[in-house]
Chains A and B, each alone.
Chain A
Amino acid sequence: MITVRDLRVVFGVGASAIEAVRSISFSVAEGESYGLVGESGSGKSTVLRAVCGLNPDWTGTVEVDGVAQGRHRDRAFYKRCQMVFQDPYGSLHPRHTVDGILAEPVAIHRLGDADRRIDRVLREVGLGPQFRFRFPHQLSGGQRQRVAIARALILEPRVLLLDEPTSALDVSVQAEILNLLRRLRADHGLTYVLVSHNLAVVSYMCDRLAVMNRGRVVEEMGVDELKRGAAREDYTLQLLRASQGYDRQAAESFRDYA
């Protein structure tokens, strides 16, 4: 479904140029859920933004659904591939109602029948019709993230790109959103690429994952291997150890991996 080969992203020019992504390749099969894990600055979000066309300055190959993508993405691309962002407070227009937010993609793609589509998608993400004419400030963080998911889903895409979809939420709300995302994937046969710093979330949501550090893939592994703690690279082992809670001895043995 998604093939990325030798993807590079550089910010800035000359001496101040920073290679945010240094030659990354991975592929995601149709219906698969793929995780990108790493710490801040590892380039995981940049990869996702390059795949969905939000970041035009990249080199390499990005293929989605068999079609090689250029810098400009056409409407057909966005019909197939949608993104959900981290911050549900920042990603919804504060002066549009839920109805307006959901009607916009329908109008852009000239799908028609907006009324029925909005009604259906709201039910699907677990918000009743009573939420339809509310503004984002009248919703909780979890409800807003549901609206953001509904906005992506209303185009009936094949691929959802998820950038830290639950890291701004409380753990009890996180559980609701993760359950929703899992159910939607099973119901619609969606392909996911999930970016997260949380290994437990990735192991719960994904089939395979890539661990990234400083713009490179450190290792690619199946979720079963992750669950067994069977990582090959020291960096991944350190990440695993750090995510199991505080341990003074472990913390003192941590080092930086270049």
Chain B
Amino acid sequence: MTASPLLSVANLRIAFPTRHGLAEAVRGVSFEVGREKLGIVGESGSGKSLTGRAVLGLVPAPGVVTADRMAFEGDDLLTASERRMREIRGRRISMVMQDPKFSLNPVMTVGRQIAEAYRVHSKAGRTEARRRALEMLEAVRIRDPERVFGLYPHEVSGGMGQRIMIAMMLIPDPDLLIADEPTSALDVTVQMQVLAIMDELCSSRGMGLVFISHDLNLVASFCDRILIMYAGRVVETCRAADLHSATHPYTRGLLGSLPRLDDPRPELPVLDRDPAWLEESRG
């Protein structure tokens, strides 16, 4: 991690009003991201996706976001105007969502969508944008970029759709990419290929990556550092290489409940959720 982090978040809280008062989905999350690959791992409902969305100001209404600090390089993301946020989104921080089927515009060719992402942030002309979009498609290892440029989203496979999403998110050359389960809808081999592309782009551009996933082993093998979230709070932070010596009982429980290929165990240990994990003692 570099001396000055790209993104710094302190005591982030996200609450939704319900009939029984405010329900806090994220409860005091703090972390920093430098030019590294940070993994955020948790089960459904742990608040990992909301945390990623909050950084871009994309928490759906009526969610209420508060934090002591949420800063990206020079910008305070909490007080930035909507206009300023639009400049940051895509250009400096961009986000890849889980399912390309729902994130791409179905009535626009993928090439035009990628070119549009470039033109919004660069004032480049049509020809220049097209050339850059084709280059980007090549960078995410699409074999016949000219052909794929003219295809509609329903004409491409899931793996190709996700690569197109990544191309679109990377074309404005952001400093930080937030990837929310970017590969969980993909087959394992395609998943590895997409990760290899992101890995290479991170190292060649010096980009920071926040990788949100439910897959512990995948994150451990892909990222540099891991935050483990449970019920809206970070229960443990560790270096990815040290995940298997993690100490928090929740992390240990999650690791234990995964079946392994060489599993001799007659029964998988079941996670015994301790109410104490919900309390605000750790951070």
Residue numbers of A with Cβ under 8 A of B are 39-40, 141, 170-172, 174-176, 178-179, 182, 197, 199-201, 203-204, 226-227, 229, 238-240, 242-248, 250-252, 254
What are the residues of chain A within 8 A of B216 when measuring CB–CB?
Answer: 171
Q: Could you list 11 A-B pairs, sorted by A, with CB under 8 Å?
A: A172-B253, A175-B259, A175-B268, A182-B267, A197-B188, A200-B259, A203-B259, A203-B261, A245-B220, A247-B192, A254-B189
Instruction: Tell me, in angstroms, the Cα distance from A243 to B148 when the chains sit together.
Output: 29
Instruction: Tell me, in angstroms, the Cα distance from A253 to B267 when the chains sit together.
Output: 35
Q: Are A174 and B267 in contact (CB under 8 A)?
A: no
Instruction: Tell me, in angstroms, the Cα distance from A176 to B261 when the chains sit together.
Output: 18
Q: How far is the CB of B40 from chain A (nearest CB, A)?
A: 15
Q: How far is the CB of A178 from chain B (nearest CB, A)?
A: 6
What are the residues of chain B within 8 A of A246 when measuring CB–CB?
Answer: 192, 195-196, 199, 218, 221-222
What are the residues of chain B within 8 A of A199 when measuring CB–CB?
Answer: 261
Instruction: Specify which of B43, B189, B200 is in contact with A238 (CB 8 Å cutoff).
Output: B189
Instruction: Tell me, in angstroms, the Cα distance from A40 to B200 when the chains sit together.
Output: 26
Interface centre among B44, B188, B267, B270 (most CB of A within 10 A): B188
Instruction: Specify which of B193, B220, B253, B258 is in contact with A254 (CB 8 Å cutoff).
Output: B193
- B144: interface (CB < 8 Å): no
- B158: interface (CB < 8 Å): yes
- B109: interface (CB < 8 Å): no
Q: Describe B's contact surface by its main secondary structure.
A: helix
Known: A175-B257, A175-B259, A242-B188. A247 touches B221 (CB 8 A): yes
Q: Are B192 and A197 in contact (CB under 8 A)?
A: no
Number of A-B contacts (CB under 8 A): 97
Residue numbers of B with Cβ under 8 A of A are 43-44, 158, 187-193, 195-196, 199-200, 214, 216-218, 220-222, 253-254, 257-263, 267-271
Q: How far is the CB of A206 from chain B (nearest CB, A)?
A: 11
A-B interface, 9 closest residue pairs, ranked by CB to CB distance from nearest: A245-B221, A175-B257, A251-B192, A39-B187, A251-B196, A172-B271, A175-B268, A204-B259, A242-B188
* CB closest chain-A residue, reference B273: A172
What are the residues of chain A within 8 A of B253 when measuring CB–CB?
Answer: 172
Q: How far is the CB of B156 from chain A (nearest CB, A)?
A: 14
Interface centre among A239, A243, A245, A252 (most CB of B within 10 A): A245
Instruction: Specify which of B263, B268, B270 is in contact with A203 (CB 8 Å cutoff).
Output: B263
* CB closest chain-B residue, reference A228: B262
Instruction: Tell me, in angstroms, the Cα distance from A235 to B28 when the chains sit together.
Output: 46
Q: Are B217 and A170 in contact (CB under 8 A)?
A: no
What are the residues of chain B within 8 A of A244 when measuring CB–CB?
Answer: 261
What are the residues of chain A within 8 A of B199 when measuring CB–CB?
Answer: 246, 248
Q: How far is the CB of B61 from chain A (nearest CB, A)?
A: 23
Instruction: Specify which of A40, A170, A178, A200 is in contact with B214 (CB 8 Å cutoff).
Output: A170
